[in-house]
Amino acid sequence: AATRWNRPLSPPRCNDAAAAGQLLAEADPELSQRLSSILGNTSVDGWLLPHAQRLAVSLLSADACAFAWDTCVLLGWAHIHPVLAATLVCLKEGLVACADAAAANAHLLQHAPALAPAQLRGALERHFMKGVREAAGAPMPAAVPELFPGDLL
């Protein structure tokens, strides 16, 4: 009989927050419109769905994926969507130059693993973290005093 200790884990739910396509449309309408025209009948969310389902594993480098997972562990797995949208923002220059969906997919798969966690963090901070913090009820960085090790003694 299944108890709370031996029951199978359910997969993380990735559809509770605003999806990457909606976030991208709000943060970078130009990139969103270009991707929509390139992808044709496939939405940005549909294009990114396999990466959301795998929580960015095999899309991002191990370090960038660990950063993404830290964010999701703290705030919920649905916050993989801002990470994916930030990934697209970081790759904007190459993505807008793509002629079709195959080229966009190849560009994403080739260049996303090269993103450093600092690049991803910067794009998240610039475009998405205000909303993420508000949704999580977390204070804005300016509202939190900076502590140094000696301050705690």
Asked if residues 105 and 50 have their Cβ atoms less than 8 Å apart, the reply is: no
Give the number of residues written for the chain.
153
What tokens does 108 get? 């994403």
Q: How confident is the model at residue 9 (pLDDT cuts 50, 70, 90)?
A: very low
Average pLDDT over residues 107-132: 94
- Mean pLDDT check: name the lowest of 14-18, 21-25, 56-60, 116-120: 14-18
Residue 59: is its pLDDT beyond 50? Answer: yes
What does the pLDDT look like over 77-104, one tens digit per residue?
888 999 999 999 999 999 999 999 999 9
Angle between the N-to-C axes of helices 44-53 and 80-90, in degrees from 0 to 180, rounded to the nearest 10? 120
Mean pLDDT (the chain, rounded): 85
Cα separation, 66 vs 79, in Å, equals 13
Residue 58: is its pLDDT beyond 90? Answer: yes
- Residue 142 CA neighbour count, 13 Å, CB half: 1
Q: Could you tell me the CA-to-CA distances from 80 to 17, 48, 110, 119, 144 in Å, in that order? A: 9, 11, 20, 16, 25
